[in-house]
Amino acid sequence: MRETRSATIARDFNVSPASIASLNKLSDPNKLRIGQILEIPGATPPPTTPQHPLPAALKTSLDKTPVRAGRWKYIVIHHSATDRGSAQGMDHYHRYKRHMENGLAYHFVIGNGKGMPDGQIAVGQRWRSQLNGGHLRSEAQNRVAIGICLVGNYNETTPTPAQMRSLSALTTYLMQRTRINATGVRLHRQINTRPTECPGKKFPAKAFMQTLP
């Protein structure tokens, strides 16, 4: 086995040997194995790799739902404006209190650990059956807008890291499935025909948009 020095690689990439050693947790930066894969500081992953992929089982399950070309034009992000909640609880509320015959107004719900596991993505019947949403004031918009609701009140707190990873993964997946680009990804307040704060003042919109392809 030949020995390679990370100092040589550092020079080639114009970065410091110490930064390579710390990023790759190298005990001895002067000894590298042939074929060892190193991360180079400042290097960005290829753009085709989603930052946060969906769990494989969920992706397999979502892949089974046929999506007609042109069916959807927007992906709209909401918060529940409550500290806790679940897809089941919201379904009950929308079905029996708001009298929506298709129940849960959103296509997806992402839990925050209170009422539903943190970061868990619940797939609603409106997605499975490709039904219109019930999450916007305008029925014309509901016909073409996928609704994702994060459990939490983001006027008070921020989403959990697990929620943001799941939201990024789900939105990226849906953009690919529906051929919607980043301009079609909207916060509720950016699309609603009546003023709303949804998804809350503390929702990290800019950081979220940066995770999208």
Applying CB under 5 A, the residues found at the interface with Zn ion are 78, 188, 198
Q: How far is the CB of 193 from Zn ion (least distance, A)?
A: 12
Closest CB to Zn ion among residues 21, 198:
198
Closest CB to Zn ion among residues 20, 110:
110
In the block, tokens 């129940």 appear at 103
In the block, tokens 């086995």 appear at 1
Sheet of strand 185-187: strand arrangement = 121-123, 108-110, 145-150, 74-79, 185-187
Closest CB to Zn ion among residues 10, 198:
198
Q: How far is the CB of 106 from Zn ion (least distance, A)?
A: 9
Q: How far is the CB of 188 from Zn ion (least distance, A)?
A: 3
Q: How far is the CB of 26 from Zn ion (least distance, A)?
A: 48
Closest CB to Zn ion among residues 82, 88:
82
Contact 151, 114 (CB under 8 A): yes
Contact 35, 1 (CB under 8 A): no
Rg over CA atoms, the chain: 21
Token reading at 31: 């000894």
